[in-house]
Copies of this chain bind each other. A is one copy, B any other.
């Protein structure tokens, strides 16, 4: 049997930061005079920030202008960093990563965030993170739902993407997994419902990292 490997999303998958990101994007859009319902922002979280703003502007009929997109991205980073002190790791996140290390299973983190916003979030997961590949939006041309982040992550852990499993909380993770030809595991901890994750291609859905840890033996991990 081939070596298994897990490629994790970060926000909403290992760390409880989705709702802070949602309100930070909402705030950033309001600062530019763009009114949008908060749930619509939530449903776009996890994709590339540029794509997110593009899609939201298109929905509201506001002109898509590169300088404005840049500005909204900067407002978001600023607002998120203001909320970041309230962010906590998700239940079981550190334990799940430690269990994979103990079983000798390679893993990496692949996030649509830039390193600037990802860094404080990564720090919540402890030192184990520094011994594994971290792929951020800075390193690829296209973030999720494009497959690039997961393709680079698989390469870094030295596993063929077809043998890797993507773990994420958003529909965009599951779509990127399908486009990369990886398996997808959905976690509900970002606030998406089970059915939405399954429709987007998740072959299994768990509540959160603790739920996944509890079912590791179903996922090809033998300790």
Chain A residues within CB distance 8 Å of chain B: 12, 16, 18-19, 22-23, 26-27, 35, 37-39, 42, 86, 88, 90-91, 188-193, 195-196, 199, 208
Contact = CB atoms under 8 A, between A and B. Distances in A.
A100 to B, nearest CB: 21
Contacts of A195: 193, 195-196, 199
A39 B193 contact: no
Nearest to A17: B38
B37 A91 contact: yes
A39 B39 CA distance: 13
Contacts of A22: 19
A12 to B, nearest CB: 8
Copies, count: 2
Nearest to A195: B195
Interface pairs A-B: 5 shortest CB-CB: A195-B195, A193-B193, A39-B191, A193-B196, A19-B38
Given A18-B39, A37-B189, A193-B196, 8 more contacts: A16-B37, A16-B38, A16-B39, A19-B19, A19-B42, A37-B90, A42-B191, A193-B195
User: Which residue of A35, A88, A90, A191 has the most chain B CB atoms within 10 A of its CB atom?
Assistant: A191
Given A192-B193, A193-B193, A208 B37 contact: yes
A148 to B, nearest CB: 27
25 contacts: A12-B39, A16-B37, A16-B38, A16-B39, A18-B38, A18-B39, A19-B22, A19-B26, A19-B42, A23-B23, A27-B86, A35-B88, A37-B90, A37-B208, A38-B191, A39-B188, A39-B189, A39-B190, A39-B191, A42-B191, A191-B191, A192-B193, A193-B195, A195-B195, A195-B199
